[in-house]
Structure formats: C-alpha cells, structure tokens
Amino acid sequence: MHMNDMVVISTDDHICEPPTLFDNQLSGELLASAPKLKTDAQGKNFWQYQGYIRPSVGLNAVVGRPFEEYGMEPTSLDQLRDGCWDVHKRIDDMDVNGVAASMCFGNSIGFDGQTFHKAPDKALSLRHMQAYNDWHYDEWCMAYPGRFIPLAIMPTWDMDATVAEIHRCAKKGFRVVSMNENPTVQGLPSIHNDYWNPMFKALMDNDMTIALHIGSGNPAPHASMETPIEAWISTMPLSVAQGVADWLQLEELHQYPDMRIIVSEGSIGWVPYLMERADFSNWRHKAWTRSRFQDIKPSELMKRHFAHCFLWDPYGLKNLAEVGEDNVTYEVDYPHSDALWPDAAELLWEQVKNLSAEQIDKVTHLNAIRWLRHDALFEHNRREDMTVGACHARAAAKQVDTAPKSSGGSVPTTETRPVTSGFGGRNRNPAGDVG
C-alpha cells in the first residue's frame, strides 16, 4: 500500500458554527430567541443565549495560522479559515488534507450541547437543540452526503425528551450521539444511576454509538496557574483515562454486549496500561468491592465496547496489538491547535507505513465505519474517489490555498517567560480552547 491508496476518516473535528446557524430551521419568535453570534466593542465575536455568553473561537480555531500566532486569538470569524464555518470550504480543506469523511463536534454550543444545558428555559432549549440537530444533518452533513458523520446532541436534562430525540434523530439518519462524559457537572445523576436506563435502551434499540469528547465533563487538571501551559497540553490526552475508567464500570456494558462508545481526542498510548491496571485492580480487590467483573476481565470489556482515536501517537501504534487493532480510529481535530493540516495524510502515513495493509485500512477508515455505522461514505461516493490521492487531486484542481492565514502579527503575549496554565483566564475549558 502507498500513502495515496489510503482512505482516511477523521472521527474528531469541529465546527465554528456560522451566524446563519438557525436561519433556515426556525422563524418568528423561535428564530429571534435562538443563540446569536454577536460582536463586542473590541470586534470580538461571542455567542449569546438566554443570558449566557460563550466566547467564540480562541485556541480551538487556529488551524492554518503561523505557530507563533497561536494563543487565545483568533476571536472573530473573519480571522479564521473559511473552512472552520463554511461547509463548502471545509470540504476543500478536507480534500487538501486527504480526508474522505469527518465527524464534527460543535464549538459554539459545546461538545455535548452545553449551551442548551446551561439555559434556564429548558422548553425553549429543547426546541433550539432540535433545530441545531436538524441544521447539523440537513445543512452540514447532507450538503455532501457521506463526507460527514452526523452527530446529534441530546437534551439529557429531560429523559423523556432525550428518548424522543434519539428516536427522531435515528429516523432522520443519525447513528451517533454526543454526551457529557461526566453528567454530574451538569447537575444530573452519574452514569451509574438508573436515571439513564431509558436512554441507553433507546440508543441500543436504534443501534447508535455514544461519543465522549475530552474535557466535556472531566477537565484536564494542571498543577497550578503558574505551571507552563505546555505541561498542561502535554498531559491533556491522559485525562481521558478518568472518564474511560468510570464508563468501563457501567452496568449496561454487561447488559448490552453491542454497546459502542468512541472516545475523542484521547489518543491511544495509555490504553494498554489502563487495561492492565484495571485487570490488576480487579484481581486484587474484586473479593470485597462487589465488582461486576467476576467472570470477565475489564480489559475484555474495554476491547468489546470502546474505540479510541489518535492524531499523533507512534508509540500507541507500535503497541497496536495491545490497544486492539479493531479499536483504533484516526482524527485530525480540525480546526483546533493540535490539528494536523494541511499535511495530515503525510503525517498519518509516517505513523502507519510499517503496519500491514489490512491494519492500515482498519485504523484509517474501516474501524470508523464499523464503530460509527457510517456505510454512507461508500453508498454515496465511489471508493476510488475517496482515497488520499483522489482527494489531493480535487484540491489541486481547485487550487485550494493552504498559505498561513495571519492576523497581522498578533502574538499571545509579549513576555519572555513560558506562557502559564493561567493564561487566558481561570474558567477556560482546556479541551475546547487548546486541544
């Protein structure tokens, strides 16, 4: 196999939602009361909804900028690559990157629909969340059938509404839902509470996958506000282990052998150790902990129920057998600061070229198709048109511009000491702003 023969699916990307988000989905008072993208006196964009203000972009949208200009800018859509928010330009940026299909989490509404969860008028939030799901499917994903993996968000503050929305979205064509990895931070019961039973059943009845995104419920910790931010960024993927260990203890994993959970932005290098440690802990403690793992090991359920995605993890790929070659998918993380663009295909090939052709196919696209039920890629597109080589050829024909987009020399700080973890404010979501 050669690099140009690969078919690449990214299981973690993001959308910087456009100001026209609800224009074709709502009208009248519902449109007037929907989340709005506004601009402050300094020219910075922010989203406003029911009294809640969410800053726009930041480090979560620096793709294509010079590295020295990374920071809490850009702060307005006109500073971004158009592919951050324009679906047609996104396809161009996917082609130039050699990416056939992409699963896109929200930015302005949060990975799990946080904006709607925080709003006080939940009846209104439900209607606007439904409109967001419709926009995501109708205007983003179906603009290029098969090129995007539809990802729904759920009104989990209301379990009856959640079950209804799961059935509605499944009928529409969604096969994946995003939810908070630790719903207690939203004031909801933990995942081990019976509150969630109807949701899990509805998801299984509709053969849907659960997507958990880093930082939605368990923010990556850092030692202090004076800790250099590079230390914080280095350990962010490891923070995912906390949520995975919690979900690994979920009773429903024993009840539903076909339940599928995909973990976004966590990488894979730490996975073998967590499985090893979980098995050791179970061996030493199950006699008194009333563990559910009496006749099966935690590592067995990890491989049965969890998929993990990597961006740059040569170490993890060297240990692919321990991670599980059927449990690994690829991610670009466009347009976040970790995103490999416009050379993702080249950097991916550098990591996988020593694997077998069968393993390369699995980690680049076949695992993603199976875990996310995305047969639509090849139902709507010929395989030969989705290879890295074909994508690059389309981008070349369109002369897609990959030149760095500068803000005119803006730099995050003029200080000479290392930027600290406290940079940009204490309340920033590490995954949303940095990952």
Report CA dihedral (273, 277, 280, 282) to the nearest 10 degrees. -130
Quote the pLDDT of residue 218: 87
Which of left, alpha, beta for 408 (phi over 0: left; psi -120 to 50: alpha)? left
CB half-sphere exposure, 306, CA atoms < 13 A: 31
Q: Which one, of 122, 187, 185, lies nearest residue 155 by Cα?
A: 122
The position carrying tokens 């800790």 is: 227
Is residue 29 within 8 A of residue 46, CB to CB? The reply is no
Helices vs. strands in the chain: H and E counts, helices first: 19, 12
Residue 427, pLDDT score? 35
Query: Who's near 335: CB < 8 A, 6+ residues apart?
Result: 13, 14, 16, 60, 61, 62, 63, 64, 80, 81, 83, 84, 341
Kindly compute the dihedral angle of the four CA atoms of residues 326, 332, 337, 338, in this order, to the nearest 10 degrees: 40
Give CA 331 to chain center in angstroms.
Answer: 9
Token readout for 262 is 């995909």
Cα atoms found within 13 Å of the Cα of residue 46, Cβ hemisphere only: 13
Q: Out of 3.40.50.410, 3.20.20.140, 3.40.30.10, 3.30.465.10, select the CATH number for domain 3-434.
A: 3.20.20.140
Sign of CA dihedral 162, 431, 17, 313: negative
Phi-psi map region of 255: left, alpha, beta (phi>0 left; psi -120 to 50 alpha): alpha
Q: What is the pTM of this model?
A: 0.94
Contact 141, 106 (CB under 8 A): no
Distance between CA 396 and CA 398 in Å, rounded? 5
Q: Where are the domains of the chain?
A: 3-434
> Using N-to-C axis directions, what is the helix angle for 388-398 and 87-97, rounded to 10°?
120
Tokens of residue 70, six digits: 């990374």
| Owner of token pair 């890629």 | 377
DSSP state of 15: E
Report pLDDT for 108.
81
C-beta of residue 363 within 8 angstroms of C-beta of residue 92: no
Beta strands in 256-407 (DSSP E): 261-264, 306-310, 328-330
DSSP 408: S
Rounded to whole angstroms, the Cα distance separating 374 from 382 reads 14
CB atoms within 10 A of CB 250: 19
Could you say which residues of the chain have pLDDT below 70?
A: 56-60, 71-75, 407-415, 423-435
At 391, the amino acid letter reads C
129 token code pair: 């969340």
177: left (phi over 0), alpha (psi -120 to 50) or beta: beta
Interatomic CA distance for residues 355 and 17, integer angstroms = 37
CA dihedral 312, 313, 314, 318 (to 10 degrees): -150
The reported pLDDT for the residue numbered 79 is: 80
- 101 alpha carbon, distance to own chain's centre: 14
Euclidean distance between CA atoms 60 and 57, whole angstroms: 6
- Residue 433: CA atoms inside 13 Å, Cβ hemisphere, count? 22
Helices (H), 70-214: 87-97, 114-118, 122-135, 159-172, 197-205
